[in-house]
Amino acid sequence: MTAKATELKLDIERIGTVSAILMQPDNARACYVLAHGAGTDMRHASMDRIAVGLANRGVATFRFNFPYTENKQGRPDQPAVAHATIRAAVEEAARLCPGLKLVAGGKSFGGRMTSQAQAKAPLPNVKGLAFLGFPLHADKKPSTERAEHLAHVAIPMLFLQGTRDGLADLSLLRPVVAGLGATATLHEIEGGDHSFAVLKKSGRTNDEALAEVLDTLAAWIDKLA
């Protein structure tokens, strides 16, 4: 399946302009608004692999920088700025991909900022949220405070989580997801870390682990109303 990557600019009201990339395959059936993690940007190799892999599965992606990465600042934006950026990205993705099923989320920080934005006020036309490694807590500091806002999200959620993820103790995340009810799904990537990388002794490659992530995500998107 061929997919065209289009470089764009995204205007965020009262904040500024950031770069964005729409990758849309022929006959796309959905668009995933894909936010990057705290230590990367939209052009990181991992983001590119995700976008290409989803395009091969018939899912378009709308990637964008947060203002702090656009301006090459080290510290992530305040939540209000991140939320406004995500809201602008969702609106632009809907405009550019009319008729496509819209989902949102992303890697780590980007996914968490998306769920916070959704909890504060529903993102227009977004049918579900998908998290590629939800950062439940800081490394080696198990807690669940970061998940409290998820109770205010009323649309389906998919948590794709490596079993070696240092930012999400599964003994804490499993009951969190279970407590959210039937709209929330947890899919564990056996042996995967926070980036879904696996150890050589696992008997499979990082590419195979990522394929499981993307296959699961595409199938979940297809089941959304």
pTM: 0.97
In single-letter form, the type of residue at position 21 comes to I
Asked if 217 and 104 touch (Cβ cutoff 8 Å), the reply is no
Sheet harboring 184-189: ordered strands across? 3-12, 16-25, 59-64, 30-35, 101-107, 126-132, 157-162, 184-189
Question: Phi and psi at residue 92, in whole multiples of 5°?
Answer: -70, -40
How many Å apart are CA 83 and CA 115, to the nearest integer? 9
For the chain, domains (ranges, CATH) are: 3-223 (3.40.50.1820)
pLDDT (tens place) for every residue of the chain, 225 residues total: 678 899 999 999 999 999 999 999 999 999 999 999 999 999 999 999 999 999 999 999 999 999 999 999 989 999 999 999 999 999 999 999 999 999 999 999 999 999 999 999 999 999 999 999 999 999 989 999 999 999 999 999 999 999 999 999 999 999 999 999 999 999 999 999 999 999 999 999 999 999 999 999 999 999 998
Asked if 171 and 185 touch (Cβ cutoff 8 Å), the reply is no
How many Å apart are CA 45 and CA 51, to the nearest integer? 10
- Which is it for the CA torsion 181, 187, 192, 196, positive or negative? negative
Q: Which residues of 29-56 are buried (b: 16+ CB within 10 A; e: fewer)?
A: ebbbbbbbbbebbbebebbbebbbbbbe
pLDDT of residue 211: 98
- In sequence order, what are the residues at sequence separation of 6 or more whose Cβ sits closer than 8 angstroms to the Cβ of residue 99? none
pLDDT of residue 179: 98
Tokens representing residue 37 in the block: 């993690």
